[in-house]
Amino acid sequence: MRDRVGKEMVRRVLARIVPRNWVLWRGAEQSRAIALTFDDGPHGKFTTECLEILEENDTRATFFLVGERVENELDIARQIVEHGHEVGSHTYSHRSCKEVGIRCYVREIRKGVEVLEQRLGVKSATFRPPCLEFKLGVILYCVSKGVTCVFGSRISEDWRRISEEDIERKVGFGDLGGGEIIVFHDDNEFTLNVLRRRIKWLKERGFEFVTVSEFKKDGKRRREDRACGLQ
């Protein structure tokens, strides 16, 4: 419990002081935009169904892909790009920075990015660390390469294979605000059923869906406005 509270305090401080093109936890709260994100894929039929749901609702999302899974399910990974979604790296083999030293972890990041570029033709500028675990050295490496570390403001915990009701409770759809980045996994039917209900529900309440890089641009515009005395 204490560890979780400590992480939340660090998150809140970093979200306020670190530029969004370095570390991104959420977009502008003044907006009516939400970013749906999906981790650990591609995941065969589940990813295919997820793409169908997004297309039916005219919604764009961001997929953080694991390099070796891209190699194993290349056709589905290409479909993600062809459908107009953003693709970010989620390392090559989904190892946490707590499992290996910084040098090995940097290789994981580098190889994951290389797979996206070589296999999908995508030069990704976003990275999400597995398990949302991070170290300062990882962030500094990504900044040096022009890559943004993306976390999230609402964590579904759907990797625990919890029920649809629990996923909805964890996300807290009833009190979502602008700028939210929601963390999902496109690897189970429970999450897909939540998407089928909630995307339309959110649109009816005036929300729009964007990719995480659109939140990065928003942060850049705000800094420029402040520099010119416009905020």
Rg over CA atoms, the chain: 17
**HSE of 224 in the Cβ direction (CA atoms, 13 Å)?**
6
Distance of CA 181 to the CA centre of its chain: 7
**Assigned token pair, 106:** 């940097």
3-state SS string over 48-107? Answer: HHHHHHHHHCCCCCEEEECHHHHHHCHHHHHHHHHCCCEEEECCCCCCCCCCCCHHHHHH
CATH numbers and ranges of domains, the chain: 14-227 (3.20.20.370)
The Cα-based distances of 147 to 71, 126, 136 in angstroms read: 22, 5, 14
Distance of alpha carbon 100 from alpha carbon 95, whole angstroms: 8
Asked whether residue 40 carries a pLDDT value surpassing 70, the answer given is yes
Range 32-49 average pLDDT? 97
pLDDT-based confidence at residue 3 (cuts at 50, 70, 90): low
pLDDT tens-digit profile of 80-136?
999 999 999 999 999 988 888 889 999 999 999 999 999 999 999 999 999 998 888
The pair phi, psi for residue 209, each rounded to 5°, is -115, 135
What DSSP designation does 29 have?
T
Find all residues with CB under 8 Å of 121, minimum gap 6, and list them: 81
pTM score over 0.95:
no
- Among the residues of the chain, which ranges form H helices? 2-17, 44-56, 67-72, 74-82, 102-120, 136-144, 164-171, 189-204, 212-227
Q: For residues 42 and 66, what is the distance between their CA atoms, to the nearest angstrom?
A: 8
Check residue 97 and give left, alpha or beta (phi > 0: left; psi -120 to 50: alpha): alpha
Q: Give 41-80 pLDDT, tens digit per residue.
A: 999 999 999 999 999 999 999 999 999 999 999 999 999 9
